[in-house]
């Protein structure tokens, strides 16, 4: 008799490992399809598990799974702007935008549904998660500017620019990722410097920031 090939050892996943596996599968699906187009059966198939197992970890169904996936994606986006506070601002901002646009490109058509709302599964909780990313990005940028107590004009300028980055990212996807990512990145950095300069004409705190940036770059 021909000996049978040994059966691969089955490794039971821990609760944390299984949950991470399901979230990875969900994120992969949400990255390219709107949340309302993804079913729990789709997630189960992508993860190679049964539908009841998905429910065991996410008894709230797709809504709970979507919110958990959104939190995971939001955490990744927060890290995009978490750049060491060393060296001139422009190279730091350039590296942060490189990571941000890499995330956008990786999630492609699902970026709007995943992080910008417009989904039938959007709730006040999902909106709060996304807004938390914007606020965290603003805090990171203000810390790069070395401003501990920003006034309303500077704070508004930074948050307006973050909104512009989001809008430009969505348009960039609609335009088939044109212009190239490095050109879009450089343009967005130039826009940030430009809006700071405009605000500096009306706000002494921002003017001080612009002078400090000019001194550091010069």
In this predicted model, what pLDDT tens digit does every residue of 51-88 receive, in sequence order? 999 999 999 988 888 888 888 878 888 888 888 888 88
User: By percentage, how much of the chain surpasses pLDDT 90?
Assistant: 43
- What's the rounded Cα separation, in Å, for the pair 188 and 177? 15
pLDDT at 5: 45
Lowest mean pLDDT among 127-136, 141-150, 159-168: 127-136
Q: Is residue 91 a contact partner of residue 36, using CB atoms and an 8 Å limit?
A: no
Q: What is the dihedral of CA 56, 57, 60, 63, to 10 degrees?
A: -130
pLDDT at 63: 85
- What's the rounded Cα separation, in Å, for the pair 209 and 200? 8
pLDDT at 71: 83
Q: Which residue has the higher pLDDT, 4 or 92?
A: 92
Q: Is residue 27 a contact partner of residue 73, using CB atoms and an 8 Å limit?
A: yes
Judged against a pLDDT cut of 60, whether residue 193 lies above it is answered with: yes
pLDDT at 86: 85
pLDDT at 7: 40
User: Smallest Cα–Cα separation from 82: which of 29, 133, 134, 140?
Assistant: 140
Q: Using 50, 70 and 90 to split pLDDT, how confident is the model at 157? A: very high
């Amino acid at each position: 008799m021909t000996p049978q090939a040994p059966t691969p050892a089955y490794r039971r996943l821990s609760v944390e490992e299984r949950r991470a596996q399901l979230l990875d599968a969900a994120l992969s699906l949400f990255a390219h399809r709107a949340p309302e187009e993804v079913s729990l059966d789709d997630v189960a198939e992508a993860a190679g598990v049964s539908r009841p197992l998905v429910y065991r970890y996410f008894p709230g169904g797709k809504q709970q799974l979507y919110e958990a996936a959104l939190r995971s994606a939001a955490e990744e986006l927060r890290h995009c702007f978490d750049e060491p506070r060393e060296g001139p601002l422009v190279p730091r901002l350039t590296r942060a935008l490189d990571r941000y646009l890499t995330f956008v490109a990786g999630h492609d058509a699902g970026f709007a549904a995943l992080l910008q709302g417009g989904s039938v599964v959007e709730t006040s909780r999902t909106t709060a998660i996304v807004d938390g990313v914007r606020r965290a990005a603003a805090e990171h940028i203000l810390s790069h500017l070395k401003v501990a107590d920003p006034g309303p004009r500077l704070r508004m300028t930074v948050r307006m620019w973050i909104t512009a980055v989001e809008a430009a990212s969505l348009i960039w996807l609609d335009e088939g990722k044109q212009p190239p990512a490095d050109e879009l990145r450089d343009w967005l950095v130039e826009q940030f410097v430009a809006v700071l300069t405009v605000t500096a004409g009306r706000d002494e705190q921002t003017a001080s920031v612009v002078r400090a940036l000019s001194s550091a770059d010069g």
